[in-house]
């Protein structure tokens, strides 16, 4: 836990324009994909956040030549990888710090035939097993070993190399699908992945690999076909805007009764995110590729056609992303009506509601996966408190609550928020928020 905090004086409506950063989850994948080629690759719209910066530093220590060309643009060239570094204590310690390091397995296995990674870190939101990754590699012919002493994995391709095959994934894991794709693009023969994740992040990764020379079909579906080739070239690739930031800003506007325009959102890549927030009663106007959220004193939760209570739950694409469940929950606090929030995928993600209840929210935590929010309809404001950010998404949700609350709040351990949101205090201050880093 770090010793910095955000001090927020809430209860002030915000106004103005804000542009989402580049997509964090996409950036982590495409940065790892640069390991697949010895040629120069240029990536733009890379967010300046802790997790991404840490991964870039890790690649530099592996031997990748990295050059920053502009504020959010980098070139990568992996033509001198230091294979001995992967077994060092320094590598294991650094790679363990972020879950994004897991996605170097596929590129290293595909290109060099061997890969090492410690059991990954990341948000403490429940079990996050990596069986899908390892079993997919095994289907391609690789052998893996778990070192209980080092708490790390080693994977090795056979001497004859990886072989394309058919596989049915037991879960549509985004990072698992990405890892298997990156191993398969350099395997011999054709790999078919059924029940593949098809999030925009995966689609973007596939488009980048095709620009590098890969042969991939079925993009956007859960059935991918990859015809392996022997070598990939360089390319240029631009990351999408971060859909999680877009959803966070929608929730922020509603909770603070603010008029905010979210610029350049890549609307067609947002899936059901806008419509899910509309079900909470939030007015969202599409203006070209921007979203305008007018100031609303009241917003009313919709009910189903038969009159039953609205349920918002997460799932694999194209369902509602689990990364916005926390934001949807906090947004419902000041709605008119009730909603059941069902976090299916992670059993520890809703425990932050204790802090919201302390602030005055009417929430019943039914079990680790479900909470009922009874909207206050602004009968009274939340009250400011001191709290700690447990993970990226809960952290920004607590920040939204604090900005809507009466009085002063302090949020500690904000390195968690910094892992996923670029200079969030400065960007919100530009909208009129009373927020400072202490």
Instruction: State the Cα angle at 34 between 31 and 38, rounded to 5°.
Output: 160
For 188, the token pair is: 């011999």
Q: Alpha-carbon distance 15 to 200, whole Å?
A: 30
Q: Is 123 a catalytic residue?
A: yes
Residues 6+ positions from 204 with CB-CB distance below 8 Å: 23, 26, 29, 30, 237, 239, 240
Q: Which of 2, 51, 84, 123 is catalytic?
A: 123
Evaluated on CA atoms 207, 209, 214, 219, the torsion sign reads negative
φ, ψ at 267 (rounded to 5°):
-55, -40
**In b/e form, how buried is each residue of 108-145, taking b as 16+ CB within 10 angstroms?**
bbbbebebbbbbbbbbebeebebebbbebbebbbbebe
Residues 6+ positions from 197 with CB-CB distance below 8 Å: 172, 173, 174, 176, 177, 178, 222, 316, 317
Determine if residue 112 is left, alpha or beta; phi over 0 gives left, psi from -120 to 50 gives alpha, anything else beta. Answer: alpha
Q: Alpha-carbon distance 107 to 32, whole Å?
A: 7
Q: Alpha-carbon distance 51 to 126, whole Å?
A: 19
φ, ψ at 127 (rounded to 5°):
-65, 140
Alpha helices per DSSP H over 68-194: 89-96, 105-112, 131-139, 174-184
User: Among 283, 202, 255, 245, which residue's Cα sits nearest to residue 24?
Assistant: 245
Q: Alpha-carbon distance 302 to 375, whole Å?
A: 12
User: Is it true that the peptide bond before 304 is cis, omega within 30 degrees of 0?
Assistant: no
Q: Alpha-carbon distance 404 to 19, whole Å?
A: 21
- For the annotated catalytic residues, the residue numbers are 123
């Amino acid at each position: 836990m770090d010793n910095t905090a955000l001090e927020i004086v809430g209860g002030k409506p915000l106004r103005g324009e804000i542009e989402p950063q580049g997509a964090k989850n996409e950036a982590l994948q495409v940065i790892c994909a640069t390991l697949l080629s010895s040629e120069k690759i240029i990536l733009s719209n890379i967010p300046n956040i802790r997790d991404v910066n840490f991964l870039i530093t890790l690649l530099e220590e592996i031997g990748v030549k990295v050059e920053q060309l502009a504020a959010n643009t980098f070139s990568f060239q992996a033509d001198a990888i230091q294979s001995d570094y992967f077994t060092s204590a320094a590598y294991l310690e650094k790679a363990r710090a972020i879950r994004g390091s897991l996605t170097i397995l596929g590129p290293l296995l595909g290109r060099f035939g061997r890969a090492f990674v410690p059991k990954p870190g990341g948000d403490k939101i429940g079990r996050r097993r990596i069986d899908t990754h390892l079993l997919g590699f095994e289907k391609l012919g690789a052998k893996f070993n778990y070192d209980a002493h080092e708490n790390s994995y080693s994977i090795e391709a056979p001497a004859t190399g990886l072989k394309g095959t058919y596989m049915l994934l037991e879960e549509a894991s985004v990072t698992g699908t990405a890892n298997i794709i990156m191993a398969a693009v350099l395997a011999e023969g054709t790999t078919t992945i059924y029940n593949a994740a098809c999030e925009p992040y995966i689609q973007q990764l596939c488009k980048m690999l095709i620009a590098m020379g890969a042969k991939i079909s079925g993009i956007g579906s859960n059935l991918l076909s990859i015809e392996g080739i022997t070598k990939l070239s360089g390319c240029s690739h631009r990351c999408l805007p971060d859909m999680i930031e877009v959803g966070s800003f929608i929730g922020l506007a509603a909770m603070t009764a603010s008029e905010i325009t979210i610029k350049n959102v890549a609307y067609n890549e947002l899936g059901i995110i806008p419509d899910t927030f509309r079900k909470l009663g939030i007015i969202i106007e599409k203006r070209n590729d921007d979203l305008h959220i007018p100031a609303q004193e009241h917003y009313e939760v919709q009910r189903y056609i038969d009159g039953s209570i609205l349920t918002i739950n997460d799932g694999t694409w194209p369902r509602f992303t689990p990364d916005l469940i926390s934001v949807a929950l906090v947004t419902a606090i000041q709605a008119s009506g009730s909603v059941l929030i069902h976090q299916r995928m992670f059993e520890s993600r809703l425990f932050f509601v204790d802090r919201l209840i302390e602030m005055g929210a009417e929430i019943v935590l039914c079990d680790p996966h479900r909470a009922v929010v009874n909207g206050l309809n602004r009968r009274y404001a939340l009250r400011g408190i001191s709290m700690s950010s447990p993970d990226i998404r809960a952290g920004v949700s607590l920040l939204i609550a604090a900005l809507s609350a009466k009085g002063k709040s302090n949020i500690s351990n904000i390195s968690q928020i910094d892992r996923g949101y670029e200079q969030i205090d400065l960007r919100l201050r530009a909208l009129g928020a009373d927020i400072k880093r202490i």
